[in-house]
Amino acid sequence: MRPTLTEFLGSVLEAPISRLRNYAIGVAVCAAGAIGAVYYALAAAVLALEAPVGPVYARLIVAVAFAIIAVCAILIPRLSRSESITRRAQAEAKAMPKNDRMAMILEAAMMGFNASTARKTTQK
């Protein structure tokens, strides 16, 4: 009897799915370990800060540190973002001589025209 499509796909994809599952489990265990390490490091930091500044200020210092980390996590990607593709293309087009710009526009128009006529002939 011939295998069905579902059975065939199941047998073909069994090894990649198994590797992916093992990788996901490894990442989950690593993330859990990292969270535990951060938690205990944070607890140790609070205990170390309690003696010189008191329990309330120790927790406030840790909260402010997390707030600074959160703000940096939002701002750094926005500040380091490179200019958009559109702006870069416009800058390159302005730097290009006028004849080259006109040739590029004509070439793009001709390619679009050729593609549209090719589609019309294949549809008939």
More confident residue, 117 or 79: 79
CA distance 61 to 16: 47
How many structural domains does the chain have?
Answer: 2
pLDDT at residue 36, rounded to an integer:
94
| Residue 13 shares a structural domain with residue 53 | yes
Across 64-81, average pLDDT: 85
| Residue 55 shares a structural domain with residue 97 | no
More confident residue, 48 or 104: 48
- Highest average pLDDT, of 65-69, 82-86, 106-110, comes from 65-69
| Residue 50 shares a structural domain with residue 18 | yes
CA distance 84 to 97: 22
Please say whether the beta carbons of 57 and 70 come within 8 A. no
| Residue 74 shares a structural domain with residue 105 | no
| Residue 56 shares a structural domain with residue 92 | no
| Residue 14 shares a structural domain with residue 74 | yes
Domain housing 42: 5-79
pTM of the model: 0.47
Query: What amino acid is encoded at 83 in this protein?
Result: E
